[in-house]
A and B are shown apart, each in its own frame.
Chain A
Amino acid sequence: MPRILMLRFEDLEDEDPPQGLDSATELTIRTIPGAPRERASAQDWSLADLAVMAAGQDAQEQGFDALCLPAFGDYGVGALRSLLDIPVVTGGRGTMLHALTLGGRFGIVTPEQGRERAARLVHDYGLSAQCAGIAPCAAASDDTLLEACRQVLAAGAQAICLADHPQPRAAALAAQLPVPLLTPAALCAKWAESLLGLGLAHSRRAYPAPQVRKPELIAALIAASAGDATA
C-alpha cells in the first residue's frame, strides 16, 4: 500500500482531500508547523523553505513512500529532495509541466501574495516562453477568479494552473472555462502515485545529499519560532 504524505500550509487547510486516488493509496495530510502566514517576500520564502524542510525531513523514516508539497511556491522542495530518497512532488513545477502536456502555453491564477513567487519560479524553471501570463486574484469571490482566468486566456493561455485555491471552487470554475484547469493538490497526489508505480524518484545528480545532515538543528529552529506571533 503506497503511503503518501502531503504537507500543507495552515492558510490552505480548507482544501478538500484530493480525489481520484487509487483505492490502495493511503494519503496523510499534515499542516506545516512554524510556517509564515504571509509568503510575499524573499524573507517569507526562506522561512517557508525552512518550515517545509523541517516538516518533511523525517518523512522517509516515518515510513512514507512519497511526499507531496502542493503549495504553488515550491517552498523547501530542493532541500527535501536533497534529504530524501523518496519522490518529492511539487505543486508549482509539477503543475506547470503537466499543463504543458495539455497545451502549448499555460497561465497562472494566483492569490496576490503569490504573484512574485510564481513569476520567479517561471523564470527559474526556464518556462518564460511557455507562460502566457500570471493573473493575481483576491480569493474573495468566484467572480474574481473567473475574471483572472479570462485575463490569462486573453493572453494566450491554453491551460490554466490554479495556484493555492480551494478545490471545490476549482471544480465550479473548471465548468466555465474552455481550457483545462489544473489544481496542484490533486495533480501532486496522482504524480506521486505514478512515480511510485514506475519506480522513479528525483535524480541524485540534480539533488545531491548533504555531507552532514542537521535534523536536530532544523527542528530546533522551527520549535524556537513556533511561538513567534509574527510568524
Chain B
Amino acid sequence: MPKVLVIVPFPMDADNLARRRAQLGAVKLGDGLDFEFRPVRIAPANYVSQQDAVLADIGIMEAGIAAQEEGFDAVCIDTVSDSGVSQLRAILDIPVIGPGRHAMLAALMLGERFSILAMWDRWRHLYTKTLAELGLAARCASLRSAGLQPDNQSLLAGKEDAYFPALLAAAQACIHEDGADVIILGSTTMHEAHAYLAARLPVPIINPGPLTYRLADTAIRLKLAQSRLAHPAPAEPALARLRAMAAAAGA
C-alpha cells in the first residue's frame, strides 16, 4: 500500500497530533493510501518572522530528509507557508506537495480570482512569498484576516462560537468587497472551520491540507513528481548534520 508522510510543522503531543490527522476526514480518498503524520523536532514558536521561516525550513527538511529511504511514496507538508517544500523537493525524488502553492493553482481551476483568508495579519508574508514565486499576484483578490490569535496546538477547539462568525465575516468581505471567486483557508490550522464556512459561503472554499492528500494520490497514481530542472539536487543530502541539529534542539 502506498504510504504518504505528512509533516506537521510543530512538535506536539498525541492529542494535538490527532487534531491535525482529523483533516483526513474532510476528503474522500481513493484506494489504499496510508498516511503517517509526523511532527517536526525543530520549529519556531510560530510563523511570523524571517527567523521563523529559516527554522521552519530546517525543521521540515530534517523531518522528511529520509522519507524515501523509509519507504514513503509521497510527502505532504502540513503548512500553507510551504516551508521546507523546496528543500525536500531538491533532496527527494518522490513527490513533495505543499498546500500553499497547490491551493492557489487549484483556485484558478475554479475561478478567476481568489482571496486568502487568514487568522491574523502576521501571516501575510507567507502568502506574498508564494504569490511572488508563482507570478500570480494579479490573480489574488485579497489577503484578509479575521484578527484572531491562532493556536498551532489546540487549533480552534473551544473558540468556535467566537472565531467561526469572525472568519465568516472576513470571508464574506473577500467575496463582496474584494471580488473573490474562490476562498483559500490561509492555514491548515483552520481546517476545523472549513465545513462551517463552506455551508455558508456562495463560492468554493479550499481546505488546503485535504487538497494535498488528493494530490498525493494523483502524483503517485500518475507517477508525477516535481521537476528536477526546477529543483536541482544537492551534491549530498545533509542527513547527519540535520540529525545532529534535531538532537541539539531536543536537548
Contacts and interface: CB of A to CB of B under 8 A. Distances in A.
Contacts of B182: 203, 206
B198 to A, nearest CB: 7
A15 B164 CA distance: 47
A43 interface: no
B249 interface: no
Interface residues of B, number: 50
B221 A102 contact: no
A180 B31 contact: no
Contacts, number: 132
B131 interface: no
Interface string B204-243: 1011001100110110011011111111000000000000
B160 interface: no
Contact of B109 (A20, A94, A105, A153): A94
A205 B227 contact: no
A190 interface: yes
Nearest to B112: A206
A203 B174 CA distance: 14
B108 A97 contact: yes
Contact of B230 (A21, A102, A125, A206): A102
Interface stretch (A4-12, A29-37, A140-148, A192-200): A192-200
B156 to A, nearest CB: 19
Contacts of B106: 97, 200
B99 to A, nearest CB: 11
Contacts of A39: none
A22 B31 contact: yes
Given A102-B224, A202-B110, A190 B218 contact: yes
B110 A200 contact: yes
B159 interface: no
B193 interface: no
A204 to B, nearest CB: 6
Given A194-B214, A197-B29, A200-B110, A180 B105 contact: no
A104 interface: yes
A182 B219 CA distance: 11
B181 interface: yes
B105 A98 contact: yes
Contacts of B215: 101, 194
Given A126-B138, A194-B211, A202 B204 contact: yes
A204 B101 CA distance: 23
Interface in A16-55: 19-24
A104 B222 contact: no
A188 B97 CA distance: 19
B222 A103 contact: no
A100 interface: yes
A207 B29 CA distance: 27
B158 interface: no
Nearest to A200: B204
Contacts of B109: 89-90, 93-94, 97, 191, 202
Contact of A205 (B29, B198, B202, B207): B202
Given A101-B102, A104-B230, A197-B28, A203 B110 contact: yes
27 contacts: A21-B221, A22-B31, A93-B109, A94-B109, A97-B105, A97-B106, A103-B231, A105-B230, A153-B229, A157-B229, A158-B229, A159-B230, A178-B228, A180-B224, A180-B227, A186-B222, A190-B218, A193-B30, A193-B214, A194-B217, A194-B218, A197-B27, A198-B210, A199-B198, A201-B204, A205-B179, A205-B203
Interface of B: 26-31, 97, 101-102, 105-106, 108-113, 133-136, 138-139, 175, 179-182, 198, 202-204, 206-207, 210-211, 214-215, 217-218, 221-222, 224-231
Given A101-B102, A190-B221, A207-B111, 14 more contacts: A93-B108, A94-B109, A100-B105, A102-B224, A103-B227, A103-B229, A130-B134, A179-B228, A194-B217, A194-B218, A198-B210, A199-B198, A202-B109, A206-B181
